[in-house]
């Protein structure tokens, strides 16, 4: 057991625990934090796989932008602890466990039967030809702007559409709508009572 | 040319049918009568200048109109056949038909449906002529059904009257029962002989010729010939109102009187006799069938005569008289005397049409009164009608030297002397027929006495109810004679009733019986006398020519004796009629007879009610509503139910959908993984 | 060298957790986060194979995936916001207009 294995196991355990945290927590902020932990563990694992660039942008983009967005939205909507209203699909709670085990068992079975190959490249850290070594910014850029230039451009158009769409969907509504939301969100530091039965938002 | 005889009335019908509503009465009548006149003229022309000059055994004229059906071996053309049998029928149908058309223009004057009447009447002539001139069983059947249809249309002519509609339906349905027998017979003929044609075509001999070569069937055995003959007779029973399918004819009197005269006396009801005479080659091969025909004919004759004795509606008396006389005709066919039967058809057409038209004149003059109990003493008010009806009355009663005398006598003699039936049957049937003759004279005399003789019993009695439809005679005054357009046909028919019998004077009485010799080539000879000489020639003969005389060795003395007996019976009947009914005209006749032996009620209870109940309760409520509708609705309901169940999968909750997708994915992965390991 | 199968196993576990999270959670934002979790698990698989096959395409693919995930997150959250404005609830079960 080398150090790399231990490292892997530690990161993996942390990631799994954090993932469970994401799905089992009541407060969405805690779920968000759990997800951030998962992302960072994954970034570390990327590094062990010689995917430096990917690891970096995982942190920058995923953890740094997307999760921040999530947290902003959670705070904007002032989501509290989950009110335990009647769960209409109660049975799902019970079948989730067995489904979990079933899926895992299947994947384990498949993995057992598949021969995993030895790595094709012994050590990608050859500096002899930086453009061909795996995972460096140079090689990724090289591939991106030659083979994958079309998906790249398409992705930029996609992001443009996403910007426009997000702006439109989330725009401020009419005054009446705003008032209604104000009323719904009211009680945060104001004198209005904030009991659940007052503004039963269904 | 033959086809114009048939088509002229059709053209008249089409013109009147489409344009008649806007035409004045005179024009409609003119179109109708002239189209029939064209047919009549052509018929006489064809008969006398084309058919008659031909030698006796080659008197066949055929004319092909168009090929209707030709499938494999089966061929049915619209082709016409003029030979002695159809020629005779052609003459009296067109002649009497023309007279009745002329009469009807007067009788139906003022009726709002005038054009409809003549359309149907012309259509009827077309159908009847198709029937008579057809050269195969199928086209004959077209005419057969067509006259049934026209009978329905004309019986139900008074569309506002419930009983007219009911009678029309009864006629049509009863006819259809007979038609079933006809159709089976037609199929059997085709299967047995390979053709249904009366003439030899394209090398295939007609089925009549083929039948003539078959052996006579054993008495009592059920062979093909017996089957065909009996089935054809079933059809004839329906059309010609014999037992058991006669019940429609008295009810058919609900139609206008010219209809009763034309269809139900002179022409349509004789179609059955025509059929049997035409297919005589088949009938004579089956002694069983001949006995059945003779028995039913005789039974019908005497049965109807007894009922006619007790009827009080002048038209009903004549209707039962028609049924009875038709029984005579079938009796003649049953004993093998087909020519005598056809002879009686012709004379009967004359005097029965005369009697019906005369009764129409009486009804017309009495302002739609039809009950003879309310008439009386009319001979001084309607002298012409009285005189002409007297001719008809005497003819039907068998007064010597009138037409009815010769034809009825012929039948009686042939019945007595027949060799076609087992020994003794002929004599017994003669007794029945003679009794019927007596009864005929009695009831006809009763009718005449109550109508024309004695004191007038009308007056205040019929003021109370006026069911007249004619406009010009609202005054309930004295009965009046009919206009010339009505009594001239009566006069013509009277003359024919008187002299019409002279073409058939039998040898025993000094005549040469032209009628019988004329028809002989076309009619098959009865078994024991059969000479079995079938003559084929290039034209194709429509029947067997078996002329070898077996006829001449009959007993002249007996024939004269029997003739004398029947004359006596005639006078006796007339005498009884006068004696009994002159003194007490309103003498009540037995209720059983008046209610016609409750035959209609029996049919109603035994046949109609069960059918109705079965149809309504079982077939409709049980099968149709519960089973069929239930099945169809059940299928729909099951689908709705299934859909209702499936509805629960659409929960609208995306968590559910995700869970289901997950389950599906697990199943798929498991399946493929399992497959990969095998 | 950590064997490939370990990476795949970890990815599988993370993915399964994400799927079960979608089934369990009622809060729509957390639901969304579970979807992101699944995406990341797949990213891990892609990168692992890219290393072990010596093929750069895996990492390029991950790049694209991340870009698309970002766009999707933005739009999805915008939708959630407008949904919240209309219904004032973040319970995903409340959005069941497609129920028959």
Q: Does C87 touch chain B (CB under 8 A)?
A: no
Q: Which two tokens stand for residue A135?
A: 């995972």
Q: Are A61 and C66 in contact (CB under 8 A)?
A: yes
In whole angstroms, what is the distance from residue B265 CA to residue B250 CA? 11
Per CB-CB distance under 8 Å, the chain B contacts of C19 are: 658, 662
Comparison of pLDDT for B32 and B477, the residue scoring more:
B32
- Contacts of residue A17, defined as CB under 8 A and 6 or more positions apart, other chains included, come to none
Closest by CA position to B144, among listed B134, B157, B158? B134
Burial per residue of B62-84, b for 16 or more beta-carbon CB atoms within 10 angstroms, e otherwise: bbebeeeeeeeeebbbbbbbbbb
Chain B nearest-CA distance from A38, in A, is 23
Average pLDDT, chain B: 82
Least CB–CB distance from B655: residue in C93, C97, C100: C93
> What average pLDDT does the segment B273-287 reach?
88
In whole angstroms, what is the distance from residue B488 CA to residue A48 CA? 131
Phi, psi (degrees; rounded to nearest 5) at B68: -95, -60
Q: Are residues B666 and A88, on separate chains, in Cβ contact within 8 Å?
A: no
**How does residue A143 score in pLDDT terms, banded at 50, 70 and 90?**
confident
Least CB–CB distance from C98: residue in B652, B655, B658: B652
**What does DSSP assign to residue A118?**
P
Least CB–CB distance from C93: residue in B650, B653, B659: B653
pLDDT of residue B185: 92
B468 pLDDT exceeds 60? no
In whole angstroms, what is the distance from residue B179 CA to residue B75 CA? 21
In whole angstroms, what is the distance from residue C96 CA to residue C94 CA? 6
The number of beta carbons lying within 10 Å of the beta carbon of residue B464 is 7
Question: Which single residue is written with the structure tokens 């269904």?
Answer: A202
In whole angstroms, what is the distance from residue B311 CA to residue B250 CA? 10
Least CB–CB distance from C69: residue in A8, A48, A66: A66
Chain A nearest-CA distance from C97, in A, is 13
Give the CA angle between residues A119, A125, A130 to the nearest 5°: 120
Chain B nearest-CA distance from A29, in A, is 21
In whole angstroms, what is the distance from residue A55 CA to residue C47 CA? 10
Phi, psi (degrees; rounded to nearest 5) at B181: -60, -40
Per CB-CB distance under 8 Å, the chain B contacts of C97 are: 652
Q: What is the pLDDT of residues B43-90, one digit of tens each?
A: 998 888 887 788 777 778 888 888 888 888 787 888 888 888 888 899
Domain ranges of chain C: 4-94
Q: What is the pLDDT of residues B623-646, one digit of tens each?
A: 777 788 888 889 999 999 999 998
Instruction: Return the minimum-mean-pLDDT range out of A82-86, B122-126, B172-176, B238-242.
Output: A82-86
Comparison of pLDDT for B538 and B171, the residue scoring more:
B171
- Contacts of residue B59, defined as CB under 8 A and 6 or more positions apart, other chains included, come to B51, B52, B83, B84, B87, B521
If contacts are CB pairs under 8 Å, which of residues 7-36 in chain C contact chain B? 19, 22-26
Q: Which helix (H) or strand (E) holds B602?
A: helix B599-603
Least CB–CB distance from C92: residue in B650, B654, B662: B654
B462 pLDDT exceeds 50? no
In whole angstroms, what is the distance from residue B408 CA to residue B404 CA? 6
Least CB–CB distance from C67: residue in A124, A155, A199: A155
Q: Which helix (H) or strand (E) holds B68?
A: strand B61-71
pLDDT of residue A81: 64
Question: Which single residue is written with the structure tokens 């004819």?
Answer: B249
Comparison of pLDDT for B117 and B503, the residue scoring more:
B117
B595 pLDDT exceeds 50? yes
pLDDT of residue B367: 80
Comparison of pLDDT for B244 and B554, the residue scoring more:
B244
Give the CA angle between residues B337, B339, B345 to the nearest 5°: 110
pLDDT of residue C83: 83
Least CB–CB distance from A106: residue in B651, B663, B666: B666
Q: What is the pLDDT of residues B537-546, one digit of tens each?
A: 222 233 333 3
Q: Are B268 and B143 in contact (CB under 8 A)?
A: no
Q: Are B326 and B273 in contact (CB under 8 A)?
A: yes
pLDDT of residue A196: 44
A1-80+133-142 adopts what CATH topology?
Answer: 1.20.120
C-alpha distances out from residue A45 to A21, A40, B296, C40, C52, Å? 19, 9, 114, 12, 14
C-alpha distances out from residue A172 to A73, A168, A179, B244, C29, Å? 14, 9, 11, 97, 20
B648 pLDDT exceeds 70? yes
Question: Which single residue is written with the structure tokens 């490939």?
Answer: C4
**How does residue A195 score in pLDDT terms, banded at 50, 70 and 90?**
very low
Chain A nearest-CA distance from C37, in A, is 7
- Contacts of residue B356, defined as CB under 8 A and 6 or more positions apart, other chains included, come to B257, B260, B261, B265, B315, B318
Q: Which helix (H) or strand (E) holds B592?
A: helix B591-594
- Contacts of residue C90, defined as CB under 8 A and 6 or more positions apart, other chains included, come to A77, A79, C27, C28, C29, C80, C84
**What does DSSP assign to residue B517?**
H
> What average pLDDT does the segment A100-110 reach?
88
> What average pLDDT does the segment B323-336 reach?
90
pLDDT of residue B216: 77
Closest by CA position to B567, among listed B404, B386, B342? B404
Least CB–CB distance from A88: residue in B653, B659, B669: B653
The number of beta carbons lying within 10 Å of the beta carbon of residue A143 is 18
**How does residue B534 score in pLDDT terms, banded at 50, 70 and 90?**
very low
Q: What percent of chain B has pLDDT over 70?
A: 91
Q: Are residues A120 and C4, on separate chains, in Cβ contact within 8 Å?
A: no
In whole angstroms, what is the distance from residue A143 CA to residue A51 CA? 14
Q: Are B655 and C93 in contact (CB under 8 A)?
A: yes
B475 pLDDT exceeds 70? no
The number of beta carbons lying within 10 Å of the beta carbon of residue B348 is 29
pLDDT of residue B664: 94
Q: Which two tokens stand for residue B592?
A: 């059983």
The alpha-helical segments, DSSP class H, found in chain C are 4-24, 28-53, 57-87
Domain ranges of chain B: 289-591, 651-678
Q: What is the pLDDT of residues B299-321, one digit of tens each?
A: 999 999 998 888 888 899 999 99
pLDDT of residue C48: 92
In whole angstroms, what is the distance from residue A82 CA to residue B288 CA? 104
Give the CA angle between residues A180, A185, A188 to the nearest 5°: 145
A176 pLDDT exceeds 80? no
Residues of A with CB under 8 A from a CB of B: 88-89, 92, 95-96, 99, 102-103, 106-107, 109-110, 113
- The number of angstroms, rounded, from the C-alpha of B420 to the middle of its chain's C-alpha atoms is 26
Closest by CA position to B81, among listed B201, B195, B191? B201
A197 pLDDT exceeds 80? no
pLDDT of residue A83: 62
Q: What is the pLDDT of residues A38-69, one digit of tens each?
A: 999 999 999 988 888 999 999 999 999 999 99
In whole angstroms, what is the distance from residue B113 CA to residue B100 CA? 18
List chains adjacent to chain A, taking adjacency as at least 3 C-beta pairs closer than 8 Å.
Answer: B, C
Task: Report the residue of chain A nearest B658, measured CA to CA.
Answer: A92
Omega prior to B678 cis, within 30 of 0:
no
Domain ranges of chain A: 1-80+133-142, 148-190
In whole angstroms, what is the distance from residue B249 CA to residue B247 CA? 6
Q: Are residues B651 and C23, on separate chains, in Cβ contact within 8 Å?
A: no
Q: Are residues B662 and A109, on separate chains, in Cβ contact within 8 Å?
A: no
Q: Say whether C27 sits in a helix, a strand or coil.
A: strand
pLDDT of residue B508: 65
If contacts are CB pairs under 8 Å, which of residues 641-670 in chain B contact chain C? 647, 650-655, 658-659, 662
**What does DSSP assign to residue B24?**
-
In whole angstroms, what is the distance from residue B101 CA to residue B64 CA? 29
Of these ranges, A110-119, B63-72, B470-479, B500-509, the one predicted with the greatest mean pLDDT is B63-72
Q: What is the DSSP string of B606-620?
A: IIIHHHHHIIIIIII
C18, C28, C45, C67: best to mutate for the A interface, most A CBs within 10 A: C67
C40 pLDDT exceeds 90? yes
Comparison of pLDDT for B23 and A133, the residue scoring more:
B23
**What does DSSP assign to residue B74?**
E
Q: Are residues C99 and B650, on separate chains, in Cβ contact within 8 Å?
A: yes
pLDDT of residue C97: 78
The CATH code for residues C4-94 is: 1.10.287.3510
If contacts are CB pairs under 8 Å, which of residues 230-289 in chain B contact chain A? none
A95 pLDDT exceeds 80? yes
Q: What is the pLDDT of residues B348-379, one digit of tens each?
A: 999 899 999 999 988 888 888 788 777 877 88
Can you give the C-alpha Rg of chain A in angstroms?
Answer: 23
B265 pLDDT exceeds 90? no
B553 pLDDT exceeds 70? no
Q: Does B677 touch chain A (CB under 8 A)?
A: yes
> What average pLDDT does the segment A64-86 reach?
81
0.80 surpassed by pTM: no
pLDDT of residue B476: 53
Q: Are residues B650 and C23, on separate chains, in Cβ contact within 8 Å?
A: no
Comparison of pLDDT for B345 and A179, the residue scoring more:
B345
pLDDT of residue A63: 92
In whole angstroms, what is the distance from residue B115 CA to residue B106 CA? 13
The number of beta carbons lying within 10 Å of the beta carbon of residue B149 is 16
Average pLDDT, chain A: 81
Q: What is the pLDDT of residues B492-527, one digit of tens each?
A: 888 888 888 777 777 666 666 777 777 777 776 665
Say what the alpha-carbon torsion angle B598, B603, B605, B609 is, to the nearest 10 degrees: -150
Q: Are residues C37 and A35, on separate chains, in Cβ contact within 8 Å?
A: yes
In sequence order, what are the beta bridge partners of B76? Answer: B69
Say what the alpha-carbon torsion angle B61, B66, B71, B75 is, to the nearest 10 degrees: -10
A162, A173, A183, A185: best to mutate for the C interface, most C CBs within 10 A: A162
- Contacts of residue B186, defined as CB under 8 A and 6 or more positions apart, other chains included, come to B137, B138, B141, B196
ipTM, two decimals: 0.92
Chain B nearest-CA distance from C90, in A, is 13
In sequence order, what are the beta bridge partners of B77? Answer: B67
pLDDT of residue B649: 82
């Amino acid at each position: 057991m080398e150090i790399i294995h231990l490292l892997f196991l530690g990161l993996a355990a942390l990631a799994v625990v954090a993932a469970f945290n994401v799905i089992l927590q009541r407060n969405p902020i805690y779920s968000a934090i759990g997800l951030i932990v998962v992302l960072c563990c994954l970034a570390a694992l990327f590094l062990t796989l010689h995917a430096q660039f990917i690891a970096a942008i995982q942190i920058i983009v995923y953890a740094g932008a997307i999760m921040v967005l999530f947290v902003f939205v959670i705070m904007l909507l002032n989501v509290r602890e989950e009110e335990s209203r009647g769960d209409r699909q109660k049975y799902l709670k019970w079948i989730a466990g067995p489904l979990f085990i079933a899926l895992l068992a299947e994947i384990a079975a498949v993995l057992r039967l598949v021969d995993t190959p030895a790595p094709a490249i012994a050590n990608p850290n050859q500096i002899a030809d930086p453009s061909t070594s795996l995972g460096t910014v140079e090689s990724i850029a090289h591939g991106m702007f030659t083979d994958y230039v079309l998906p790249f451009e398409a992705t930029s158009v996609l992001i443009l559409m996403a910007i426009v769409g997000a702006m439109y969907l989330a725009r401020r509504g009419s005054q009446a709508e705003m008032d209604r939301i104000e009323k719904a969100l009211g009680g945060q530091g104001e004198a209005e009572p904030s009991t659940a039965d007052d503004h039963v938002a269904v | 040319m033959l086809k114009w005889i048939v088509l002229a009335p059709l053209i008249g019908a089409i013109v009147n049918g489409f344009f008649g509503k806007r035409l004045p009465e005179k024009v409609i009548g003119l179109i109708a009568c002239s189209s029939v006149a064209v047919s009549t003229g052509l018929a006489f022309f064809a008969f006398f200048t084309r058919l008659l000059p031909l030698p006796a055994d080659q008197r066949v004229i055929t004319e092909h109109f168009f090929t209707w059906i030709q499938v494999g071996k089966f061929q049915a053309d619209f082709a016409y056949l003029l030979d002695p049998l159809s020629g005779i029928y052609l003459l009296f149908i067109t002649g009497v038909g023309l007279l009745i058309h002329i009469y009807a223009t007067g009788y139906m004057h003022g009726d709002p449906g005038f054009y409809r009447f003549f359309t149907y009447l012309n259509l009827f002539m077309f159908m009847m002529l198709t029937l008579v001139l057809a050269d195969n069983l199928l086209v004959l059947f077209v005419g057969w059904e067509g006259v049934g249809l026209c009978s329905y249309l004309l019986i139900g002519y008074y569309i506002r009257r419930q009983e007219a509609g009911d009678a029309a339906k009864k006629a049509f349905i009863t006819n259809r029962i007979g038609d079933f027998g006809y159709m089976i017979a037609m199929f059997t003929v085709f299967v047995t002989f390979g053709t249904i044609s009366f003439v030899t075509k394209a090398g295939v001999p007609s089925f009549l010729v083929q039948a003539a070569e078959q052996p006579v069937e054993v008495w009592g055995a059920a062979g093909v010939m017996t089957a065909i003959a009996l089935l054809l007779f079933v059809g004839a029973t329906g059309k010609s109102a014999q037992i058991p399918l006669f019940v429609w004819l008295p009810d058919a009197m609900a139609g206008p009187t010219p209809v009763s005269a034309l269809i139900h006396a002179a022409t349509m009801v004789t179609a059955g006799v025509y059929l049997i005479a035409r297919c005589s080659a088949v009938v004579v091969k089956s002694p069983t069938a001949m006995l059945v025909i003779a028995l039913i004919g005789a039974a019908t004759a005497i049965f109807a005569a007894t009922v006619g004795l007790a009827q009080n509606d002048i038209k009903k008396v004549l209707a039962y008289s028609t049924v009875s006389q038709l029984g005579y005709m079938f009796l003649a066919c049953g004993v093998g005397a087909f020519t005598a039967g056809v002879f009686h058809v012709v004379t009967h057409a004359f005097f029965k049409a005369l009697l019906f038209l005369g009764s129409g004149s009486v009804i017309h003059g009495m302002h739609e009164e039809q009950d003879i109990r309310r008439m009386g003493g009319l001979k001084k008010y309607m002298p012409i009608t009285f005189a002409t009806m007297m001719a008809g009355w005497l003819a039907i009663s068998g007064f010597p030297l009138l037409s009815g005398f010769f034809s009825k006598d012929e039948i009686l003699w042939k019945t007595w002397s027949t060799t076609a039936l087992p020994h003794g049957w002929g004599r017994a049937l003669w007794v029945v027929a003679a009794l019927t003759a007596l009864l005929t004279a009695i009831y006809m005399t009763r009718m005449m006495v109550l109508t024309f003789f004695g004191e007038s019993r009308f007056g205040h009695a019929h003021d109370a109810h006026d069911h007249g439809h004619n406009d010009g005679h609202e005054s309930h005054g004295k009965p009046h004679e009919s206009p010339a357009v009505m009594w001239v046909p009566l006069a013509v028919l009277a003359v024919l009733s008187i002299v019409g019998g002279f073409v058939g004077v039998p040898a025993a009485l000094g005549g040469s019986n032209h009628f019988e010799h004329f028809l002989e080539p076309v009619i098959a000879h009865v078994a024991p006398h059969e000479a079995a000489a079938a003559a084929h020639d290039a034209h194709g003969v429509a029947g067997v020519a078996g002329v070898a005389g077996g006829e001449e060795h009959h007993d002249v003395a007996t024939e004269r004796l029997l003739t004398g007996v029947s004359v006596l019976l005639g006078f006796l009947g007339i005498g009884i009629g006068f004696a009994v009914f002159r003194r007490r005209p309103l003498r009540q006749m037995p209720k059983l007879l008046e209610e016609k032996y409750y035959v209609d009620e029996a049919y109603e209870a035994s046949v109609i009610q069960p059918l109705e109940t079965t149809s309504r309760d079982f077939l409709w409520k049980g099968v149709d509503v519960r089973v069929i509708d239930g099945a169809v609705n059940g299928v729909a309901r099951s689908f709705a139910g299934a859909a209702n169940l499936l509805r629960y999968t659409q929960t609208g909750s995306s968590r559910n959908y995700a869970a289901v997708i997950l389950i599906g994915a697990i199943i798929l992965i498991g399946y493929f993984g399992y497959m990969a390991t095998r | 060298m950590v064997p490939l199968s370990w990476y795949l196993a970890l990815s599988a576990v993370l993915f399964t957790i994400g799927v079960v999270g979608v089934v369990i959670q009622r809060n729509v934002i957390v639901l969304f986060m579970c979807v992101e979790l699944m995406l990341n698990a797949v990213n891990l698989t892609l990168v692992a194979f890219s290393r072990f096959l010596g093929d750069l395409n895996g990492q390029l693919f991950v790049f694209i995936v991340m870009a698309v995930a970002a766009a999707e997150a933005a739009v999805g959250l915008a939708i959630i916001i407008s949904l919240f404005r209309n219904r004032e609830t973040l319970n995903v079960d409340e959005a069941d207009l497609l129920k028959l």
